[in-house]
């Protein structure tokens, strides 16, 4: 760094550049979405914890996903809501870096968790006789812990590479959060190494796992078609289609955001993708799983029945 360069101490988040009159509407809409995210995922967690019939590997991973979704939304939305009603839309540099770290870590954790969930469904449908042995509680715990550990270490690599850069301006970040691609634009140095590492990580965390998920579901499809019982086939299709919906929403938006050419999408379109990825996805996940899952709906009915009988 040269002597005339200074390290920025805060970042201005430009957010959604719309008519200021719309800020109140956006605040209410995002607050409602965030509240639904917490309530829905909290309800999923509560039902799985209270109902012994849901104490299976599948619902263990679903509860893990609910924790990730609540953490993901909570790392972004509160600051976004505060900026919508404040005149000065700023964030200190250290919290900005922390938000970038959490965003990367939790996104990678969700990606890894979705892969593990697809593996769980593959074993349950293609190897039902060995399912209890393969997906023991010890294995499930190790898989979940590995998802969290690997993802946070990967995010730490990205943040280490970010912090080696000099940040001397501009202060304005044309985003509603400190997303890594927008943070790199604040650096007054060559960021090609960061972008290469990010692209390689995206291939490793997004493209390759997605291919594995698609291959496993192709094999699951053939296994489902061989099931003699019509009820068993419907149950298997219901569980797998719910998971495929979540996988499609998550991986689709992530691949477009991190791997599409810069010229393909405007900054405003990328903001919408980030919003969908970090707020609407966590809100939709429990709806997709609960509405299409008879066991979850049954647990909810039993819970409400106990409440009404008290």
| Tens digits of residue pLDDT in 182-221 | 899 888 888 899 999 988 888 888 888 888 888 888 888 8
Contacts of 31 (CB under 8 A, 6+ apart): 81
With cut-offs at 50, 70 and 90, classify the pLDDT of residue 310.
low
Is 166 within 8 Å of 5 (Cβ atoms)? yes
- Over residues 114-136, the mean pLDDT reads 90
Contacts of 291 (CB under 8 A, 6+ apart): 297
In angstroms, the CA 117 to CA 62 distance is: 8
Residue 1 placed within a domain: no
Expressed as residue numbers, the domain containing 302 is 10-308
Residue 3 placed within a domain: no
With cut-offs at 50, 70 and 90, classify the pLDDT of residue 288.
confident
Number of compact structural domains in the chain: 1
CA dihedral 184, 189, 193, 195 (to 10 degrees): 30
Is 143 within 8 Å of 279 (Cβ atoms)? no
- Over residues 113-139, the mean pLDDT reads 90
The pLDDT value given to residue 239: 66
Q: How far apart are the first and last CA of the chain?
A: 69
Q: What global pTM score does this model have? A: 0.87
Residue 92 placed within a domain: yes
Is 54 within 8 Å of 48 (Cβ atoms)? yes
Residue 75 placed within a domain: yes
Contacts of 300 (CB under 8 A, 6+ apart): 43, 47, 290
- Over residues 142-163, the mean pLDDT reads 95
Q: Is the pLDDT of residue 296 over 50?
A: yes
Q: How many residues does the chain have?
A: 310
Residue 176 placed within a domain: yes
Residue 97 placed within a domain: yes
In angstroms, the CA 195 to CA 301 distance is: 49
Residue 283 placed within a domain: yes
In angstroms, the CA 87 to CA 172 distance is: 15
SS3 13: strand
Inter-CA distances, 165 with 158, 186, 191, Å: 12, 10, 8
Q: Is the pLDDT of residue 278 over 80?
A: yes
Residue 193 placed within a domain: yes
Q: What is the CATH number of the domain that holds 281?
A: 1.20.1070.10
């Amino acid at each position: 760094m040269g002597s005339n360069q200074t390290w920025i101490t805060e970042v201005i988040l430009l957010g959604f550049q719309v008519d200021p009159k719309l800020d109140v509407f956006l605040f209410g809409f995002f607050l409602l979405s965030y509240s639904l995210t917490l309530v829905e995922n909290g309800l999923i967690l509560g039902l799985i914890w209270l109902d012994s019939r849901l104490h299976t590997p599948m619902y263990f991973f679903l509860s893990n996903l609910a924790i990730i979704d609540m953490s993901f939304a909570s790392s972004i939305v509160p600051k976004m809501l505060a900026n919508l009603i404040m005149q000065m839309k700023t964030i200190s540099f250290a919290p900005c870096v922390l938000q970038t770290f959490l965003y990367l870590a939790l996104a990678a954790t969700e990606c890894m968790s979705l892969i593990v969930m697809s593996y769980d469904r593959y074993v349950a449908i293609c190897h039902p006789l060995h399912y209890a042995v393969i997906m023991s509680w010890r294995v499930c715990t190790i898989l979940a812990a590995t998802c969290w550990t690997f993802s946070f270490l990967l995010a730490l690599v990205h943040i280490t590479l970010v912090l080696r850069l000099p940040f001397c301006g501009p202060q304005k970040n044309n985003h509603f959060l400190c997303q890594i691609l927008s943070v790199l634009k604040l650096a007054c140095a060559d960021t090609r190494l960061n972008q290469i590492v990010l692209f390689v990580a995206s291939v490793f965390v997004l493209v390759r796992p997605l291919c594995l998920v698609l291959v496993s579901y192709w094999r699951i499809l053939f296994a489902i078609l061989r099931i003699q019982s019509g009820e068993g086939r419907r149950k298997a299709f219901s569980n797998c289609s719910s998971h495929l919906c979540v996988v499609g929403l998550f991986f689709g938006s992530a691949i477009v955001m991190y791997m599409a050419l810069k010229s393909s999408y405007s900054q405003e379109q990328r903001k919408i993708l980030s919003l969908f990825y970090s707020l609407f996805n966590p809100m939709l996940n429990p709806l997709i799983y609960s509405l299409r899952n008879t066991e979850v709906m049954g647990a909810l009915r039993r819970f409400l029945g106990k409440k009404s009988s008290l």
